[in-house]
A and B are shown apart, each in its own frame.
Chain A
Amino acid sequence: MLMPQPDAAVIARRSAIADDLRRLCAAPDAIIESEAERRAYESDGLTAYRARPLLVVLPSTAAEVSRVLAYCHKSGLKVVPRGAGTSLSGGALPLEDGIILGLGKFNRILEIDYDNRCAVVQPGVTNLGITTAVQHAGFYYAPDPSSQIACSIGGNVAENSGGVHCLKYGLTTNNILGVEMVLIDGTVLRLGGKHLDSGGYDLLGVMVGSEGLLGVVTEVTVRLLRKPSTARALLIGFPSNESAGACVAAIIGAGVIPGGMEMMDKPAIHAVEDFVHAGYPLDVEALLIVELDGPPAEVDHLIGRVEDIAKRCGSVSVRISNSDEERLSFWAGRKAAFPAVGRISPDYYCVDPTIPRAKLPDILKYMAELSRKYGLRVANVFHAGDGNLHPLILYDANQPGELERTEQFGADIMRYSVEIGGCLTGEHGVGVEKRDLMGSMFTEADLQQQQRLKCAFDPNGLLNPGKVFPRLHRCAELGRLHVHHGQARFPDLPRF
């Protein structure tokens, strides 16, 4: 992965820059300069890539963020914003000639407003921390990425994080009401609030999922939902991936939108069963967990309907949870899928493309071919409800060439997903990981239009450079208009 060439002149000015930044932040420990301490920030959840940041800056207030960004803007210093550093796509991968702007000190819940069903929190609050703060009153924050115990809500906004309940409850973008943010020139803006929708352009919708390239979020207003009164799950075994896939389509076709619908293939089932002994059947090719949540009358009604559909689709085993413990035991294996795979392989690599659900058998067949081609095992867990794949490719980083083969394997899966009507990433983001694959989904014109949006926020490209876009264009070049100077050049145009 080629990152922008570090500027040696900037690196040589490290301590002078640190002195400047110390004057902008009140806390004595706000600037991290020592080599040893900077090392803690050298990668995020995508650990294959590392770089030691120039400096780490940990501001405590929006005013400090504003001063730091204005300084960077004036002096042409690159900035990589960072939340909890759990990105799986390298969104917070540092630059040797750029600062890490860490939002970890923004860790307070500012307001909980049950009557307006929202909470105002600082960006460093963890995803799960929001739910923990409101669950005693029967509320929760819906998006639940697997990293929710550690990941921050600011990072969720940057990445538009998902989770297992997206089909029914949406991604981060559907659950955020407002943000306070700082532009690279230090301007502080408020987008949205406790009300719905926007008075002008939907800049809030643009900010969510912008991967730290447009601005730095310093406050977030999230939507709170009343916790469903019941949840029950079915654990359904199938003799083939095709019949499991057909069952997913049949459930949705029958008008049922489950709270969660997860699928595992045989290698994943065996890996997790060996690890957590969840009681999963081992004589099936695919396993489906279907969770219905809502009022008891509805859940009980729909459980019966889903069971009928499963039987019609040729399921070989069906278990229905009769208690919350039993329901959670169904999930125990799925939730342990990553560590379970980690146990049977020195390393694993996970990508997250989304595909049309009907294409699931096709892509599983294709992955089996790739597995033979590259000589690497693959286990699949799959957010079947929303079509979001999570193939786990098993490899050993100590074997020369295996990481490279693994990355090619992942890239082949992602390209195929785009070919069959899907996308490169459903929830982990582009970051550095998928940057060079953007051309398989978007034309150069598509990407240029996206970069023109970037230019409106950050004309000098100082925020998180090297991420998302494979080729950086200068804003002046992107802004140039190629005007045709003839009138009447289009005699065939129908005019009325």
Chain B
Amino acid sequence: MSRYRPADEKQLIEVVATAVANEEPLEIVAGGSKRTLGRPPQLPHTLDIAAFAGIRQYEPEELVLTVGAATPLSEIESALAAKRQMLAFEPADWRMLLGSAAANPTLGGVVACNLSGPRRIRQGAARDHVLGLAAVSGRGESFKAGGRVVKNVTGYDLCKLLAGSYGTLAVMTEISVKVLPAPEATRTVALAGLDDARAVAAMTHGLNAPHELSGAAHLPNADGRARTILRVEGPVPSVEARSQALRDELKPFGVAEILDDAESEKLWKGVRDAAPLVADERAIWRVSLAPTASTAFLGAVRAALDVDYFLDWGGGLVWLAVHGADDGGAAPIRAALGGQGHATLICASAALRAAVPVFEPLPPALAALSARIKDGFDPKRVLNRGRLYPEL
């Protein structure tokens, strides 16, 4: 049981090569905030990539930032804020959710798990913002992919493959991301008292109107009442006009209030970080599905399980906290989904995460293809073995 802390790429390659030679897998960690996310791999050695940190190049006018993969998000976000820019995919902070309050999330971790917040529906996922990266494969070879420009179709898009691969293909050492101007102002149009079906209808109505929403969520129990919230961002005259037009347009769903910047920020941070479900000893799921399918999905799940929940992404993302089911609700949740989306067990005991598939089970042909891809990057399965699927 060793903890390796390579100081540079050469040492990193040596660590991986040693792991390959001895066939002893490594658990990759940087900030350590998401170690309970995914299947519990219980690997013999830890590969701490903390040394691969720091802002390497930031050109605000090019909208490009290059950092070491283990650079803390907090450091990145303050550098961006100084230039009034942001990571537009709104990376979530799940430390409260995952019980890792003292840890320090990094960009590498966010990219490895492809975690995106409410703005996903407008600006894309974490994976859509990765322009390029450098990495060391499970073969102990360094390679790079992509570049530092926003429009690049040169070669396969390995950045997309590595984003969301949970460290099972390669150890990222450096990442270039697209950044965007931060909005000058934010307004939230909030409706009260809608049931799930009406809330999804209201969000669809808002998203299909030309007001460029950057968030649409439904909180069925926000301080004792249901709230459906829709966010507009942009220059001040724009958000004023759009939030008022949106309120008028949503009149069939009730009288909406318009919330200012400060209230909006607090509310959307809560949605981003799944705050309504924090502080609970329950199984917590995150389910991505077609937005209009969420009402029927929730109906089926609630008929079978005792759950708390809320909706993001206009209904396309359902967060569930399941009470008292042996399998954490895996069977009824995946049955209700019927393969039309994916359900991930975000939060549960290690025993439960070992017992049920944490990630959406793949059809056999897709599982076989994924295994062949793993073979190409990490044939001895030394990187985060078993974190995503048992066979990867």
A contacts, CB < 8 Å to B: 113-117, 138, 159-160, 162, 166-167, 170-171, 173-174, 183, 187-189, 191, 193-206, 208-210, 226-229, 249-250, 252-253, 255-257, 294-298, 300-302, 354-358, 383, 386-388, 421-430, 434, 438, 441-443, 445-450, 452-457, 468, 478-479, 481, 483-487, 489-490, 492-496
Enumerate chain B residues within 8 angstroms of A257, measured Cβ to Cβ.
180-181
Among B69-77, B102-110, B284-292, which stretch is in contact with chain A? B284-292
Q: How far is the CB of A335 from chain B (nearest CB, A)?
A: 19
Indicate which residue in A426, A430, A479, A481 contacts B149 across the interface (CB closer than 8 Å): A426
Given contacts A206-B157, A449-B141, A481-B20, contact A198 B61 (CB under 8 A): no
Binding site for A on B (CB under 8 A): 2-7, 11, 14-15, 17-18, 20-22, 48, 59-64, 84-85, 114, 116, 120-121, 124-125, 127-128, 137, 139, 141-145, 147-158, 160-161, 163-165, 169, 180-182, 184, 204, 207-212, 234-235, 237-238, 240-242, 245, 288-293, 313, 316-317, 340-342, 344, 359-360, 362-363, 365-366, 369-370, 372-373, 375-377, 379-380, 388-389
Max chain A C-beta neighbours (<10 A), residue from B124, B156, B212, B293: B156
Residue of B nearest to A160 (CB): B153
Give the distance to chain A from B257, nearest Cβ to Cβ, in Å: 20
Given contacts A438-B155, A493-B15, 20 further A-B contacts (CB under 8 A): A159-B153, A162-B153, A173-B160, A195-B288, A197-B120, A197-B164, A201-B165, A203-B161, A203-B370, A205-B157, A205-B160, A209-B153, A210-B156, A256-B181, A356-B64, A356-B148, A386-B149, A449-B143, A450-B158, A487-B21
Given A174-B124, A295-B210, A423-B147, answer yes or no on A252-B63 (Cβ-Cβ < 8 Å): yes
A197's partner among B241, B288, B293, B389 (CB-CB below 8 A) is B288
* A194:B212 contact, CB within 8 angstroms: no
Residues of B within 8 A of A354 (CB): 147, 149-152
- Interface pair B154/A253, CB less than 8 Å apart: no
B212 to chain A, nearest CB (A): 6
Q: How far is the CB of A493 from chain B (nearest CB, A)?
A: 6
Q: Are B59 and A386 in contact (CB under 8 A)?
A: no
CB–CB A455/B242 < 8 A: no
Query: Which of the residues B59, B164, B313 comes within 8 Å of A198, measured between beta carbons?
Result: B164
Closest residue of chain B to A229 (Cβ to Cβ) is: B210
Cβ of A193 and Cβ of B151 under 8 Å apart?
no
Which of these, B11, B154, B211, B292, contacts A425 with CB under 8 Å?
B154
CB distance from B52 to the nearest CB of A (A): 14
Q: Is the interface of B mostly helix, strand, loop or mixed?
A: mixed
Do residues B128 and A298 form an inter-chain contact, with CB atoms below 8 A?
Answer: no
CA distance A495 to B5 in the complex (A): 6
A481 contacts B379, C-beta separation under 8 Å: yes
In whole angstroms, what is the CA distance A492 to B210 when docked?
Answer: 61
Are A195 and B289 in touch, CB under 8 angstroms?
yes
Find chain B residues with CB under 8 A from A228 CB.
210, 212
Cβ distance A28 to chain B, nearest Cβ, rounded Å:
32
Inter-subunit contact B155/A430 (CB<8 Å): yes
What chain B residues lie within 8 Å of A205 (beta carbons)? 127, 157, 160-161, 163
CA of A183 to CA of B17, assembled, Å: 33
Residues of B within 8 A of A486 (CB): 21
B143 with A479: CB separation less than 8 A: no
Cα distance, A159 to B157, chains bound together (Å): 11
Q: How far is the CA of A173 from the CA of B124 in the complex (A)?
A: 10
* CB-CB under 8 A for A116 and B152, given A252-B61, A443-B143: no
A387: contacting residue among B60, B151, B241, CB under 8 A: B151
Give Cα A321 to B92, complex, Å: 41
Given A297-B241, A445-B142, A495 and B2 contact (CB-CB distance below 8 Å) = yes
Is A422's CB under 8 angstroms from B5's CB? no
**Contact pick for A114, options B61, B150, B208, B388, CB 8 Å:** B208
**Cross-chain pairs A/B with CB under 8 angstroms, 17 sampled:** A159-B153, A194-B290, A202-B161, A203-B369, A206-B161, A256-B181, A295-B210, A356-B59, A421-B149, A423-B154, A430-B153, A443-B144, A446-B143, A456-B373, A494-B5, A495-B3, A495-B4
Whether A484 contacts B151 by the Cβ 8 Å rule is no
Cα–Cα, bound, A462→B93 (Å): 45
* A160 to B288 CA separation, bound complex (whole angstroms): 24
> A195-B342, A493-B4 are contacts. A200–B154 as well, Cβ < 8 Å?
no
A421-B148 in contact given A116-B290, A302-B235 (Cβ < 8 Å): yes
Give the chain A neighbours of B18 by CB distance below 8 A: 484, 487, 489-490, 493
In contact, B210 and A483 (Cβ under 8 angstroms) = no
- The distance from the CB of B315 to the nearest CB of chain A, in whole angstroms, is 9
Q: Contacts A202-B163, A257-B180 given; indicate if A226 touches B149 (C-beta within 8 A).
A: no
Q: Are B377 and A452 in contact (CB under 8 A)?
A: yes
Contacts A297-B240, A298-B235 known; A446 to B154 CB distance under 8 Å?
A: no
Which B residues are CB-close (under 8 A) to A357? 61-62
Q: Check if A200 sits within 8 Å of B210, measured CB to CB.
A: no
Q: Are A446 and B145 in contact (CB under 8 A)?
A: yes
Q: Name the residue on B nearest A205 (C-beta).
A: B160
CB <8 Å contact, A200 and B161: no
| Set of chain A residues within 8 Å of B154, measured between Cβ atoms | 423-425, 430, 434, 438, 441-442
Contact of B376 among A197, A297, A455, A489 (CB under 8 A): A455
7 nearest A-B residue pairs (beta carbon): A205-B160, A199-B360, A199-B342, A452-B376, A298-B238, A255-B181, A297-B241
Nearest-CB residue, chain B, relative to A251: B61
Q: Kindly state the separation between the CA atoms of A45 and B388 in the bound complex, as whole angstroms.
A: 42
Cα–Cα, bound, A490→B22 (Å): 13
CA distance in complex: A446, B212 (Å): 39
Instruction: Give the distance to chain B from A444, nearest Cβ to Cβ, in Å.
Output: 10
Interface centre among B141, B145, B238, B375, by most A CB within 10 Å? B238
Question: A178 CB to closest chain B CB, in angstroms?
Answer: 10
